[in-house]
Amino acid sequence: MKKLMTLLLMALMVTGLQAQNKSDLPNVTLKDLNGKDVNLSKLSNNGNPIVLTFWATWCSPCIKEHSALNDVYQDWQDETGVKIYAVSIDDSRSTARVKPMVEGKGWEFEVLLDVNSDLKRAMNVSNPPHTFLIDGNGKIVWYHTGYVEGGEEDLYEEILKIAKKK
């Protein structure tokens, strides 16, 4: 009887744990700039926060946001271990311009290509820029649409809240 109860408890704990590890990000596979597949639901950063931004080469507030993020990215990484994934929603008319722009502007973050808006639809993004903050357990804890000068500071405050919890 005791053995059974122990087994039962263990089983419950396992299912509980499994549920906890489930990511909020959808089961969508995108390519990175080198053509490698990246499944969003399996995205992890060793328990550190992840920032997911939706952008496009033709979206000027997005470019401003990324330039601002890039200026502070190294400091943010040192302080919180955060990793930024920039999801480009450029379609085939401008996908060829994504990599030269990212490299040419010297952005340091990971860039993913959402060529037919699969992830954009799955995450209900209407217009870029749209930013999500994901905690170490894969839960979406904050999101924001639009970017205005200084908007990155609000994001950083949110990152600090969850980075402290690790």
Among residues 43, 144, 160, 161, the one that binds another protein under rule CB under 8 A: 144
| 101 is a site residue for another protein (CB under 8 A) | yes
Cα–Cα distances (Å) from 12 to 19, 20, 21, 23, 141, in that order, read 11, 12, 14, 19, 26
CA 38 from centre of chain: 12
Q: Contact between 80 and another protein (CB under 8 A)? A: no
User: Hey, which residues between 56 and 75 contact another protein (CB under 8 A)?
Assistant: 57-60, 63-64, 67, 71
List, in sequence order, every residue forming a beta bridge with 111; answer none if it has no partner. Answer: 86
CA proximity to 158, closest of 139, 146, 141, 145: 141
Among 2, 3, 35, 46, which residue sits at the site for another protein (rule: CB under 8 A)? Answer: 35
Cβ proximity to another protein, 110 vs 118, nearer residue: 118
Instruction: Determine whether 22 is exposed, middle or buried from the number of CB atoms within 10 Å of its CB (0-12, 13-18, 19+).
Output: exposed
Residue 46 in contact with another protein, rule: CB under 8 A: no
Given the rule CB under 8 A, which residues bind another protein? 1, 4, 8, 11-12, 15-16, 18-19, 22, 24, 26-27, 34-37, 57-60, 63-64, 67, 71, 91-97, 99-106, 115-118, 121-127, 130, 142-146, 148-151, 153-154
